[in-house]
Structure 1
């Protein structure tokens, strides 16, 4: 059977998108190649026509997920009437982001797992981290300059990731909402203090 030109690349993209969502929602080690390929309507053997290993897929999925999350946040910031940093903080620490980890930030979903991945995968995560820090820095007030801008962006990102991760981890919905609210207040206070 002959496929149309670009079929292999479309199939590869479909696999990466499915893996990206599943890895963030369920965790990397919880997602097997067999179940993932079944989800996209392919066999396990077909996987190796597209990727050398699961780790190869992990790297590509992390890269794609980071870019997508950054684009979504940048779009929300651009569409908001609020100050850039305020719009970003509110979007990041929203119930929508908390409730849909498969479509959200890689750092909040996978940072703990990334610490145990091979160096090549951790480098892809590091590149994504740097990209998110740049986005956050671009939203900060003009008065925050130089090294302070980058260090504040890094501190904010750590605070946002921690608040979102904790809000997902607790079982009590009221406590989860409280974590998001207090996380927003703390992040805004960091900016106001700068």
Structure 2
């Protein structure tokens, strides 16, 4: 039996996670099979179960990892004084719209997550709550409850607008959706 270098298991697990994350966001969870993930990762189907108990286990891992990365970006923005307006404009940009495979996992997967088991939805809920708290911390003025309310409204506007902009076939309409959503999210963030 061949021995692998220390850390090989973690590296392989990470590789499977990254491949699945890209495929799920690009094509949707339901449309992606384990065989396709493992083929893209350059591994056998049997190797999957060394790392994950099931596809649902992988889905939860992908969501947690992708949302933790998103959360870290929000933390970095707070620490570096990046204005919430910059965050909103970046999120609702044509560049983000056109890169679903590497973009926000919420916008790419939220409609499917609603149909997943409670454990997956609870993992998603916890991460989204953390992101909302960080967004609220970037909101100008207001009580914590008011800032949280505005963060929820702004985030929901951003996610929904990004989904709509990806779904329509008319490029001009897609651009209008993004532009108008920027204005709406900024107004919500500022409490107007």
Q: Same fold (TM over 0.5)?
A: yes
Change (3 A) 1:72 1:99: farther
| 2:123 match | 124
Residues in 1 aligned to 2:174 and 2:135: alpha-carbon distance in whole angstroms: 24
Return 5+ residue gaps in structure 2 as ranges.
none
Report the number of matched residues: 191
TM-score (norm 2): 0.93
CA offset at residue 136 of structure 1? 1.1
CA offset at residue 193 of structure 1? 3.4
| 1:23 match | 24
| 1:56 match | 57
| 1:152 match | 150
Matches within 5 A, 1:41-80: 41-75=42-76
Runs of at least 4 residues off by over 2 Å: 69-81, 191-194
Residues in 1 aligned to 2:74 and 2:4: alpha-carbon distance in whole angstroms: 37
Residues in 1 aligned to 2:90 and 2:98: alpha-carbon distance in whole angstroms: 12
| 2:132 match | 133
Query: Aligned to 1:164, which of 157, 162, 165?
Result: 162
Q: Report the RMSD for the aligned CA atoms in angstroms.
A: 1.6
Deviations 1:41-70, CA, capped at 9 Å, x for gaps:
101111011111010000000001111223
CA offset at residue 146 of structure 1? 2.1
Deviations 1:70-110, CA, capped at 9 Å, x for gaps:
334554676676xx221111111111111111111121111
Residues in 1 aligned to 2:65 and 2:11: alpha-carbon distance in whole angstroms: 14
Residues in 2 aligned to 1:191 and 1:10: alpha-carbon distance in whole angstroms: 40
Residues in 1 aligned to 2:93 and 2:22: alpha-carbon distance in whole angstroms: 19
Return 5+ residue gaps in structure 1 as ranges.
none
Task: Give SS of 1:101's match.
Answer: coil
Query: Aligned to 2:178, which of 177, 180, 194?
Result: 180
